[in-house]
Amino acid sequence: MKGRFQPTTVGNMVRCKDGSYVCQADYAELASLMRECRIALDDLLRKKPMMTGLLTC
């Protein structure tokens, strides 16, 4: 995906955008939690479209 940050895997570590490293299992868990948050946010915006103006990303 051009233009998007793609993490680099080194052993069982993943290099983050800021240059730090995180355990691959932790990275997968964090990514899963972020997807759940995004799904919840999308659901909220479908129910209350007037809140769309508050979305900054």
Q: Is the pTM of this model over 0.75?
A: no
DSSP letters, 3-57, are TS--PEEETTEEE-TTS-EEEHHHHHHHHHHHHHHHHHHHHHHHH-GGGGGG---
Query: Widest CA span of the chain, in angstroms?
Result: 46
Q: What is the pLDDT of residue 40?
A: 93
46 φ/ψ sector (left φ>0, alpha ψ -120 to 50, else beta): alpha
Please give the angle made by the CA atoms of 25, 29 and 34, to the nearest 5 degrees.
Answer: 145
Q: What is the pLDDT of residue 25?
A: 76
pLDDT tens digits, one per residue of 4-57: 555 555 667 777 778 777 777 777 888 889 999 999 988 988 898 888 777 665
